Structure 1
C-alpha cells in the first residue's frame, strides 16, 4: 500500500510534536528575563531620530534648505503614522481575533495616512524635492532594521 502525501506529512508533524518540551516556570522566567519586550515607542523614537538626521544630511549634502525640508517631511510621513499605530495598539484586546482585527485596522489607518501625507506634500513643502523626500521616507522606514539588528545582538546567549 503506497504512502500518501497526507499520511507522510502527518507522520512528520507527529515527529515534530514529540520533540516539543514545555518550559518549566523557572525556564520561562529566565527566557522572559533574557528577552524583554521592546516598546513600540522606542522604535518610533528611533525613526524620529533617523528622520531628523536624514533632513540634516540632505540639507548639508545638497546645500538646499528645500531638500532638507523635503527629506524631513518624508521621514515625518513615516513617523506620524507609526506613532498613531503604536498608540492605537496599546489597548488590551479581549481575544486574539480582536487583537488581529485591531492590528489590521490600525495598519490600514497607517498606510492611508502615509499616502495622504505624500499626496499633500507638493502643497505643504515649498520647493519640494521628490528625491530628497523619498530618501527621507526610505531611511526612516529602514529604522526598523536598525532596531531589529540592535535587538538581535542583545539576545545572543553564551
Structure 2
C-alpha cells in the first residue's frame, strides 16, 4: 500500500481517543482493582494439590497423583519466583521491561529444568498425568482474569 493510499484510507476514520482527566483516571483506577500475583500463585498451588488428588482418586495409583502434582508445581513454583522478581518497582519503563523479560526467561528455564528432573524425582512417573497437571495449573491464569472483582461481562 502506498503512502498516499494509506493516508486516504485513514482520513475517513474518526479518532475516538479522548484522554482522561485526572478525576476520570482516578475513578477508572478505583474500578479496575489490581489482581495480586500472590493470589494467583496461591490459586495455582491449590489447583496443583486438587489435580494431584483427583488424579490419584481417579487412577487409584499414588504415582499418578504425584506426577500430576509435580506437573502443577512445575508451573506454580516458577510463577512464584517470577511474581517475586517482577513485583518490585523499577526506575524506568525500560528497566521494568527488561526485568519482565529476564524473569520470564528464568521462569521458562526453571520449568524446563523441573521437567528434566522429573524422572529422577518422581518414582513411577506418568508423563500424561504430569502434562495434565501442568495444563490445569496453567489455565488458572484465565480463571484469575475472568474472576477479577469489578469485571463486567459482555455476554
The corresponding residue for 1:27 is 24
Where does structure 1 lack aligned partners over 5 or more consecutive residues?
Answer: none
Superposed, which structure 2 residues align to 1:100-111 within 5 Å? 100-111=97-108
The corresponding residue for 1:66 is 63
The corresponding residue for 2:37 is 40
Deviation at 1:29, TM superposition (A): 1.4
In 2, distance between residues paired with 1:9 and 1:147? Answer: 40
| Partner secondary structure for residue 147 of structure 2 | helix
Superposed, which structure 2 residues align to 1:86-125 within 5 Å? 86-125=83-122
The corresponding residue for 1:52 is 49
Q: TM-score, normalised by structure 1?
A: 0.89
In 2, distance between residues paired with 1:126 and 1:157? Answer: 45
| Partner secondary structure for residue 140 of structure 1 | helix
| More helix by percentage | 1
1:55-108: CA deviation from partner (whole Å, max 9, x where unpaired): 000010000111111000000000110000000001211111111111111000
CA RMSD of the aligned region, Å? 2.0
After the TM superposition, which segments of 4 or more aligned residues of structure 1 sit over 4 Å from their partners? Answer: 13-16
Q: TM-score, normalised by structure 2?
A: 0.90
Where does structure 2 lack aligned partners over 5 or more consecutive residues?
Answer: none
